[in-house]
């Protein structure tokens, strides 16, 4: 549960720092999931800042693990990229990104582009495929908004993944001959991978991809009033759908193999957002 007494002053300090170092907020923030780190190489005039300097952000734990924001632009679109997210499987706490996302909103960010690595539930999306998230299933039924005061906590999730942002991403995919699927992402808590029986159940529920992130952040972002887009990179067929045993190494290997193409597509989408009047209103 979020402790507002301690989080709110940390958000104030974070927003102050972002304003003083970078000026007005970019309209667009990107959360980089596994496999997507290459996207930072597309950022021009990039300035880095460690999460350690941003008190509302998840504080870096593992030495050598990158936890930083990268502020700059891609084409005409200013952007802030978040390298590193707090996962619920690390602590059991699904509110880890609350301070970061609320700070971004207060700073003036309008849209959150989430990226992740996922297991595919559909043979037409083999490893290496990209999928725009059209909707999600919160399988653990955990909410970062438990304990939140006020009626805003009853967030409408009926179009959580922004239709206009998705349609722009589809146009950009088409113009660049990039095949991008569209489908439902199901959140599994992890850190263990799913069983084949769980995957069969998720497929019957209508899920197309499974992963251990994204959903808590989408809920927090919608509550904060940020528009959300989600892009999933398939790193493996989900449990039971291929002969191969699932390992973290396998998913990282596939993420690396397809990451560059995924990052290049993401960069095109970010650049394309400069043409969207609704982000400038």
Collapse the DSSP code of 86 into the 3-class scheme (helix H, G, I; strand E, B; otherwise coil) and give the result.
Answer: coil
**Minimal distance in Å, beta carbon 255 to ligand HPA?**
8
Considering only 112, 251, 262, 263, the residue that binds ligand HPA (CB under 6 A) is 251
Considering only 26, 211, 216, 272, the residue that binds ligand HPA (CB under 6 A) is 211
- By Cβ distance, which residue is nearest to ligand HPA? 119
Q: Binding-site residue total for ligand HPA (CB under 6 A)?
A: 14
Q: Is residue 215 within the footprint of ligand HPA (CB under 6 A)?
A: no
Q: Is residue 216 within the footprint of ligand HPA (CB under 6 A)?
A: no
Pick 56 or 209: Cβ nearer ligand HPA: 209
Site string for ligand HPA, 96-125 (x = CB under 6 A): ---------------------xxx------
> From CA 99, how far away is CA 187, in angstroms rounded?
21
> From CA 18, how far away is CA 21, in angstroms rounded?
5
- Restricting to residues 184-203, name those near ligand HPA by CB under 6 A: 188, 193-194
Pick 152 or 244: Cβ nearer ligand HPA: 244
Q: Is residue 212 within the footprint of ligand HPA (CB under 6 A)?
A: yes
For 74, the enclosing helix (H) or strand (E) is: strand 68-74
> From CA 262, how far away is CA 14, in angstroms rounded?
30
Return the DSSP state at 100: H
> From CA 273, how far away is CA 167, in angstroms rounded?
11
Place of tokens 């206009």: 164
Q: Is residue 238 within the footprint of ligand HPA (CB under 6 A)?
A: yes
> From CA 34, how far away is CA 11, in angstroms rounded?
26
Q: Are 103 and 21 in contact (CB under 8 A)?
A: no
User: Helix axis angle, 98-107 relative to 4-22, nearest 10°?
Assistant: 50
**Minimal distance in Å, beta carbon 252 to ligand HPA?**
9
Considering only 155, 235, 265, 276, the residue that binds ligand HPA (CB under 6 A) is 235
Return the DSSP state at 37: G
**Minimal distance in Å, beta carbon 212 to ligand HPA?**
5
Which two three-digit tokens encode residue 273? 């957002």
Which two three-digit tokens encode residue 82? 């978040």
To the question of whether residue 176 is assigned a binding role by annotation, the answer is no
**Minimal distance in Å, beta carbon 221 to ligand HPA?**
20
Q: Are 200 and 194 in contact (CB under 8 A)?
A: no
Pick 4 or 248: Cβ nearer ligand HPA: 248
Distance of CA 84 to CAs 29, 78, 178, 187, Å?
13, 20, 26, 18
**Which parts are annotated binding residues?**
34, 65, 85-87, 117, 194, 213, 236
Binding site for ligand HPA (CB under 6 A): 117-119, 188, 193-194, 210-212, 235-236, 238, 246, 251
**Which parts are annotated binding residues for a purine D-ribonucleoside?**
194, 236
């Amino acid at each position: 549960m979020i402790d507002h007494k301690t989080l709110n002053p940390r958000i104030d300090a974070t927003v102050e720092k972002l304003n003083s170092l970078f000026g007005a907020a970019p309209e667009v923030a990107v959360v980089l999931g596994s496999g997507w780190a290459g996207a930072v190489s597309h950022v021009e005039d990039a300035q880095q800042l460690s999460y350690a300097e941003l008190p509302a952000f998840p504080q870096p734990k593992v030495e050598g693990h990158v936890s930083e924001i990268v502020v700059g632009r891609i084409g005409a679109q200013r952007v802030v990229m978040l390298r590193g997210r707090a996962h619920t499987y690390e602590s059991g706490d699904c509110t880890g990104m609350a301070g970061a996302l609320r700070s971004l909103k207060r700073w003036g960010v309008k849209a959150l582009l989430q990226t992740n690595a996922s297991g595919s539930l559909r043979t037409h999306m083999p490893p290496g495929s990209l999928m725009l998230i059209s909707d999600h299933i919160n399988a653990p039924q955990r909410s970062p908004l438990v304990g939140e005061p006020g009626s805003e906590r009853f967030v409408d999730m009926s179009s959580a993944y922004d239709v206009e942002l998705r349609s722009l991403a589809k146009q950009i995919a088409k113009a660049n001959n990039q095949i991008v699927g569209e489908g439902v992402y199901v959140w599994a808590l992890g850190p263990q991978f799913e069983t084949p029986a769980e995957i069969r159940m998720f497929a019957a529920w209508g899920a197309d991809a499974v992963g251990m992130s994204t959903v808590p952040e989408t809920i927090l972002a919608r509550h904060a009033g940020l528009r959300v887009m989600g892009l999933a990179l398939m790193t493996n067929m989900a449990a039971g759908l291929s002969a191969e045993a699932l390992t973290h190494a396998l998913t990282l290997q596939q993420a690396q193999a397809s990451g560059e193409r995924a990052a290049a597509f993401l960069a095109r989408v970010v650049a394309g957002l400069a043409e969207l009047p609704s982000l400038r209103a």
